[in-house]
Copies of this chain bind each other. A is one copy, B any other.
Amino acid sequence: MVSEKNIRVKIDELRSSIGLLKGVEFSIGKVVSEEWLEEIGPTQFPKITDLREWDFKLLQRYKPFYMPFCDLCCLCTFGKCDLTGDKRGACGINMSAQQSRIVLLACCIGAATHTSHARHLLEHLIEKYGRDHPINVGGLNVEVEAPITRLVCGVKPRTLGDLEEVLNYLEQEIVRLLAATHTGQEASNLDFESKVFHAGMIDHVALEVADIAQISALGFPKADPEAPLVDIGLGVVDSTKPVIMVVGHNVPSAAAIVDYLVENGLYGGVEVVGLCCTAHDTTRYNPKAKIVGPISWQLRFIRSGLADVIVVDEQCIRADTLIEAQKVKAPVITTSDVNCGGLPDRTKDKVEKIVEDLVLGGQPGAFILDPEKAAEVAVKTALLIAPKRMKFKAIPDVSDIVEGAKKCRKCDDCRRACPNDLPIRDALAKVLEGNLNALASLYEACIGCGRCESACPVDLPLHSYIVKAAEKRIKEEKYKIRVGRGAIQDVEIRNVGSPIVLGEIPGVVAFVGCANYPNGGTEVAEMAVEFAKRRYIVVASGCAAMSIAMYKDEEGRTPYEAFPGAFDAGGIVNVGSCVSNSHIAGAAIKIANIFAKRRLRANYEEIADYILNRVGAVGVAWGAMSQKAAAIASGFWRLGVPVIVGPHGLKYRRMLLGRKDNPEDWYVYDARTGEKVYVGPAPEHLFYAAETKEEAMVMIAKLCMRPNDTTKGRAIKLSNYIDLHKRFFGTIPDDIHLFVRTLADVPLTMREEVIKVLEEKGWKENVIPDPTLLPRLVKKKVGE
């Protein structure tokens, strides 16, 4: 209840030092919280332990399975400690607690990153647009403008200024959570996991704050299903112009570049291209900007030499940007205090002097904290340096590759360093046979990390070799992406609420997160297209939303061209950058609130219980790699939304797995009677890593089932599950008896084969309850 308390501080000060301003108390209270008529729920500004009971309910069913990424703990100088098996560290900690502690640490880092991003963005926007600038994410179409904030904090922000108190709360909680990771604090792995959920919830609020602030102030598309299509791909850059590349997540400097170009009539003459989420947000700001691609494109794009100036803000920026940029003689401007890059602080220097130093003085870059100044420097530098650089590149010629291949020692160190175990040495051997195809074929699965190069004892620039080999293909990398639309409209929620909850829209599948894909981004696009065709609602954000764009159907259409942008069955909805993930969680919450009329305000448990039991939503983070992704995922878990990751996601070192073979885990209360009813393993897992795309797709279909499905809905979901299972695995699933409650659940077209399974398994009919895990929601107690 931080906010309230902070307000009280002020009041007391007034009272004690001035005396006559007592009445202020009520007025202030009113501003922040009392103009909103909805009754306040039980968990406003929840502290770590306020939702512990809910967390423990989830953890009871979805038990953590730890796969330690290291046998050791090295967090303090008592260590390193060997925690193998049942050993304890010098502080007494065991392996489960340690692994969950590391997960918490990752989620704290993730939540801190989003929160401080929100804080800095908000500070900037308030400075520019004023504290009173209204929150507006969709005009009259979006009345519930901040579902997560309302749910968690119990406040309804009306202006940018209102968001500051929310951030105060988030910061306080993150600091407390981080404290729990200190040596000699939390002892129980389950309590660490509960804190992980808390961090995730905090993270979601931060995402929402950041995105609604920028949507409101910067004129981003406001819940627009028909947001424009923009260019994306390495091939879309017009290399005849000076090119400014913006990388990161925090849009102010990129927006300032666009503004400066527009104001000075330079817009047509300079290309602004983006990487990662800043790219999303730059196109949301101005759809003439172009997107190069997700994080994994950084190295190849810098080395392509196309960028004349590189402006980085924060998050997902390669730490060697400066080194790589120097190879192609492109100056780097750092603009954020979380990534100063060791560059001299030029914030207070004159623009002309900085430009001179960069263009003529050969200085590698500058750190400029002021977005407007950074923008001006970037543009002026780009204009002056472009003719000098002549797109100087660091990509080798084919003859270089051949020479390199001759030097190869066949040590396989490159492959052993490659996260995707790519057979680089073998491909190089083929080069000597005059064949570049093997090398080119690595391009799709190469995430552009550069570890192969670091490992190579003869220092071959192997990633560049791959890029060069795939050059033709790269030039064709021209696609369309729909600009991030932001929130989901209330009316869209109203329209799909019923079919989702009743199961007739088989599910909402959200493709989110980073580009650490095991076999390249195409897999994400293929999954998205498949589920859109099956009339699921497909939503996407961040790098995943970009990867979906980079795919063409037989007719040459990209998914965003082939499918509508509406939040409806068969739509593919790009919500926007990573912070726009909040609209995905927000949509789930709004279904409970707007469609089902559950009270939202500070009513977390009930809403999460609703979503877990009724909203068939699944998150898929196929290439999740960051601590932010970990935090986002845990926000979804607490809200009752399962998350599927790709095989690299195992490195998050723990899954939350249900046991469908333990019937006792799958009982809920029937809210009508208070009885405990078996509802089957729906959803079966809360956090699950799939080995393959096919495995993920079948699991997506399965995890969309929820206890509340109507028979019609369950039949549709089952038929998707069974159909995908048969298609990919060749058989009917052996667990369908767990999902058929009554015979009406059985898909008509599959009746015979399903009944056969049911008979084999000795299936018995079950009731379909009004499901809840919260005894307090039972309307009538058993025996009453």
Q: Which A residues are within 8 Å of any B CB, using their own CB? A: 5-10, 12-14, 16-18, 21, 24, 27-28, 30-32, 47-49, 52-53, 69-70, 74-82, 86-94, 97, 105-106, 108-110, 112-113, 115-117, 119-120, 123, 131-132, 159, 161, 164-165, 167-168, 170-172, 174-176, 178-191, 194, 295, 299, 314-324, 337-343, 345, 369, 417, 419, 447, 449-451, 454-455, 516, 624-628, 648-649, 651-652
Task: Check A450 against B168 for contact (C-beta < 8 Å).
Answer: no
User: Which residues from chain B contact A319 at a C-beta distance below 8 Å?
Assistant: 88-89, 91-94, 97, 184, 186-187
- Closest residue of chain B to A182 (Cβ to Cβ) is B113
Given A178-B109, A319-B187, A340-B49: A9 touches B165 (CB 8 Å cut-off): yes
Given A13-B31, A49-B345: A179 touches B116 (CB 8 Å cut-off): yes
A-B contact pairs, 26 of them (CB 8 A): A6-B6, A13-B32, A14-B27, A14-B31, A21-B21, A21-B24, A49-B369, A69-B74, A69-B80, A76-B625, A77-B625, A77-B649, A78-B449, A88-B450, A90-B451, A92-B319, A97-B319, A112-B182, A113-B182, A117-B179, A119-B175, A119-B176, A183-B627, A187-B321, A188-B340, A189-B342
State in angstroms the CA–CA spacing of A417 and B323 once bound together: 42
Given A88-B320, A179-B116, A417-B82: A342 touches B184 (CB 8 Å cut-off): no
Given A13-B31, A92-B450, A132-B16: A187 touches B87 (CB 8 Å cut-off): no
Set B105, B113, B337, B648: member contacting A47, Cβ < 8 A = B337
Given A184-B319, A318-B91, A341-B191: A161 touches B74 (CB 8 Å cut-off): no
Given A182-B110, A182-B626, A318-B92: A74 touches B70 (CB 8 Å cut-off): yes
User: Which residues from chain B contact A188 at a C-beta distance below 8 Å?
Assistant: 340-343
User: Which residues from chain B contact A648 at a C-beta distance below 8 Å?
Assistant: 77-78
Set B110, B171, B182, B455: member contacting A172, Cβ < 8 A = B171
- Closest residue of chain B to A459 (Cβ to Cβ) is B86
State in angstroms the CA–CA spacing of A189 and B340 once bound together: 10
- Closest residue of chain B to A10 (Cβ to Cβ) is B10
State in angstroms the CA–CA spacing of A183 and B319 once bound together: 9
Given A27-B14, A87-B454, A183-B627: A52 touches B340 (CB 8 Å cut-off): yes
State in angstroms the CA–CA spacing of A82 and B456 once bound together: 12
User: Which residues from chain B contact A119 at a C-beta distance below 8 Å?
Assistant: 172, 175-176
Task: Check A174 against B184 for contact (C-beta < 8 Å).
Answer: no
State in angstroms the CA–CA spacing of A274 and B188 once bound together: 23
User: Which residues from chain B contact A79 at a C-beta distance below 8 Å?
Assistant: 651
Set B10, B339, B649: member contacting A186, Cβ < 8 A = B339
Tell me how far the C-beta of A174 lies from the nearest C-beta in chain B, rounded to whole angstroms.
Answer: 5
State in angstroms the CA–CA spacing of A310 and B762 once bound together: 52
Tell me how far the C-beta of A114 lies from the nearest C-beta in chain B, rounded to whole angstroms.
Answer: 8
Tell me how far the C-beta of A213 lies from the nearest C-beta in chain B, rounded to whole angstroms.
Answer: 14
Please give the count of copies of this chain that the complex contains: 2
User: Which residues from chain B contact A447 at a C-beta distance below 8 Å?
Assistant: 78, 90
User: Which residues from chain B contact A89 at a C-beta distance below 8 Å?
Assistant: 319, 449, 451
Given contacts A13-B31, A70-B74, 6 further A-B contacts (CB under 8 A): A77-B625, A92-B318, A94-B319, A97-B319, A171-B174, A187-B342
User: Which residues from chain B contact A624 at a C-beta distance below 8 Å?
Assistant: 77
User: Which residues from chain B contact A323 at a C-beta distance below 8 Å?
Assistant: 92
Taking each of A92, A161, A172, A182, which has the highest tally of chain B beta carbons within 10 Å of its own beta carbon? A182
- Closest residue of chain B to A123 (Cβ to Cβ) is B5
User: Which residues from chain B contact A187 at a C-beta distance below 8 Å?
Assistant: 317-322, 339, 341-342
Taking each of A9, A18, A190, which has the highest tally of chain B beta carbons within 10 Å of its own beta carbon? A9
User: Which residues from chain B contact A74 at a C-beta distance below 8 Å?
Assistant: 69-70
User: Which residues from chain B contact A76 at a C-beta distance below 8 Å?
Assistant: 106, 625-627
State in angstroms the CA–CA spacing of A479 and B735 once bound together: 68
Tell me how far the C-beta of A218 lies from the nearest C-beta in chain B, rounded to whole angstroms.
Answer: 21
State in angstroms the CA–CA spacing of A108 and B175 once bound together: 9
Task: Check B183 against A78 for contact (C-beta < 8 Å).
Answer: no
User: Which residues from chain B contact A315 at a C-beta distance below 8 Å?
Assistant: 182, 184-185
User: Which residues from chain B contact A625 at a C-beta distance below 8 Å?
Assistant: 76-78, 183
Tell me how far the C-beta of A710 lies from the nearest C-beta in chain B, rounded to whole angstroms.
Answer: 37
Tell me how far the C-beta of A493 lies from the nearest C-beta in chain B, rounded to whole angstroms.
Answer: 30
User: Which residues from chain B contact A123 at a C-beta distance below 8 Å?
Assistant: 5
Task: Check A627 against B182 for contact (C-beta < 8 Å).
Answer: yes
Tell me how far the C-beta of A32 lies from the nearest C-beta in chain B, rounded to whole angstroms.
Answer: 7
- Closest residue of chain B to A625 (Cβ to Cβ) is B77
Set B86, B132, B185, B322: member contacting A314, Cβ < 8 A = B185
Task: Check A175 against B176 for contact (C-beta < 8 Å).
Answer: no
State in angstroms the CA–CA spacing of A91 and B164 once bound together: 32
